[in-house]
Amino acid sequence: MVSTKTKSTIDPLETAPEGDRKSSLNRQRIVILDFGSQYSELIARRIRETQVYSEVISYRTTAEQLKAIEPKGIILSGGPNSVYDEGAPECDREIWDLGIPILGVCYGMQLMVQQLGGKVERAERGEYGKASLHIDDPTDLLTNVEDGSTMWMSHADSCLELPTGFDLLAHTDNTPCAAVADHERKLFGVQFHPEVVHSVGGLALIRNFVYHICECEPTWTTEAFVEESIREIRAKVGDKKVLLALSGGVDSSTLAFLLHRAIGDRLTCMFIDQGFMRKREPERLMEIFEHQFHIPVEYVSARERFIALLDGVTDPEEKRRRIGHEFIKVFEEESSRLGPFDYLAQGTLYPDVIESADTNVDPKTGERVAVKIKSHHNVGGLPKNLRFKLVEPLRKLFKDEVRKVARSINLPEEIVRRHPFPGPGLAIRIIGEVTSERLKILRDADYIVRDQIQKQGMYHDFWQAFAVLIPVRSVGVMGDKRTYAHPIVLRFITSEDGMTADWAKVPYDLLETISNRIVNEVKGVNRVVYDITSKPPGTIEWE
């Protein structure tokens, strides 16, 4: 089983349901102390690829908390600071005495060296991008890493003096201390980023740390996750009833199957049609679940109340907040009719938690190391007085991991490979105010995008492919007459898990066909443009 960019720092005692810390599935775990690196979640992903569970937590996690977590290993991430800066983030110095193997990456290595008595200063020459790694000690951490391997560097500081007990493992032409180790205490540091694909041999290094040094076993598998999740759901829910907000996407659909397998008819699936779904999707959802899967779904039509709720609203965060709160209101109203329900199940994923993170404030500077990118309606949009208890079995997973789980429980590929769709739906693909007219324009344009890429056999070539309506008009000419209509923005991206993304290099003939169809078939549109922004610096969605 199995991120990448979006800085996060999650409280180690809040990332999973109660009891998870001692679960058999996650007993073999590596924790990453995040110092604000753009690659922290990518480290977690790489470790999970070795079938060992990993998670990102705050650098402020104390040694006592880490001891309670019982990780098999600790990784200190990189970060944008210099260790000698006033107010630079520091870890609890007592972690060095826990007896747990530790790997420092970039800033993490420099912090290790400084706190243990070494010396870190600004280098005469910074090192960015590819560099050849010259190996001085090919044992332990660098076993099976070839001498001269290319590694990815990104640093302006350098370790000039090592602490007592440390040995040099490798160097580059510009960096005398590219990898170091205190073998006796199992403390290791690398100046480069082994987690990025540009680092040849990086995964071998990570495997050495996970298996050879931390002595982990590969317990993080799809089958183990399913079995453990069912046990945890049954233990938590008991004989109570659960209400699930079903969207039709792979997350909520996978969750529905897990819950149905765990608690049977004590699960009630509810689909709230808030009016922001894609064309023909509500009907298809009901057909699949009720007729193919024989899982009953309560259909709730709430289009008018949601659209009215957004009247005059243009701020994207306010849209998300209102939609999230209205969802809960509807849940509560319907649960009174169908329930009572003690639990609300949500398909919250690890990236949702990460992007909504807003809690990692440096106690010395008051500055955030992790910045909330945008609130997700199932994380940041919930009211504090929510009367449901939450059930979120997928909270530990990245999107590609969810897809693996979905396949293992025999969900059809139509759902497994469905493009991700945001909870607020088309409401956040309409920039500015949401109206019935704008929804129709966008819904029709979006349908053409999906229809055409399916006809071309290219639907699964993209992580997401969709249309965006922006609140401007441009001059055009149609039938020898002047038009003044909306442009549609096409957004096609490729990604592994949504944490980072690149714009897709779509064939010109496909773009041309889509553009022609939209302009000719969608009333109110006279121009189509293509978004070529990656994430970062942009996000996948426009709002």
Nearest by Cα to 29 from 61, 55, 58: 55
| Distances, alpha carbon 520 to alpha carbons 479, 481, 506, 524, in Å | 11, 14, 21, 10
Nearest by Cα to 245 from 308, 322, 300, 310: 300
Count Cβ atoms within 10 A of the Cβ of residue 484 and give its class: 0-12 exposed, 13-18 middle, 19 or more buried.
exposed
Beta strands in 101-260 (DSSP E): 102-105, 119-135, 149-161, 167-171, 179-182, 187-190, 242-245
- Helices 508-521, 436-455: crossing angle, 10 deg rounding: 140
| Residue type at 191 in one-letter notation | Q
Catalytic residue among 55, 91, 106, 486: 106
What's the count of helices (H) and strands (E) in the chain, helices before strands? 14, 19
Q: Please confirm, yes or no, whether 195 is among the known catalytic residues.
A: yes
Contact 30, 40 (CB under 8 A): no
Count Cβ atoms within 10 A of the Cβ of residue 39 and give its class: 0-12 exposed, 13-18 middle, 19 or more buried.
buried
Specify the DSSP element, H or E, that contains 42.
Answer: helix 40-48
Q: What would the DSSP string read from start to end of 340-375?
A: --SEEE----HHHHHHT----B-TTT--BSS-----
CA distance 79 to 330: 42
Q: Which two tokens stand for residue 28?
A: 């073999």
**φ/ψ (deg, to 5) at 393:** -65, -20
H helix intervals, 84-147: 107-115
**Do the strands 242-245 and 343-345 form a parallel or antiparallel pair, or are they unpaired?**
parallel
Catalytic residue among 195, 326, 334, 543: 195
Q: Please confirm, yes or no, whether 171 is among the known catalytic residues.
A: no
Nearest by Cα to 399 from 341, 447, 353: 353
Contact 6, 355 (CB under 8 A): yes
CA distance 371 to 381: 16
Q: Please confirm, yes or no, whether 106 is among the known catalytic residues.
A: yes
Specify the DSSP element, H or E, that contains 269.
Answer: strand 267-273
Q: What would the DSSP string read from start to end of 368-413?
A: BSS------TTTTSS-TT--SEEE-TTTT--HHHHHHHHHHTT--H
Nearest by Cα to 356 from 9, 61, 16, 77: 9
Which residues sit opposite 474 in a β-bridge?
Answer: 485
Catalytic residue among 127, 159, 171, 193: 193
CA distance 71 to 215: 11
Residues in the chain: 543
Catalytic residue set: 106, 193, 195
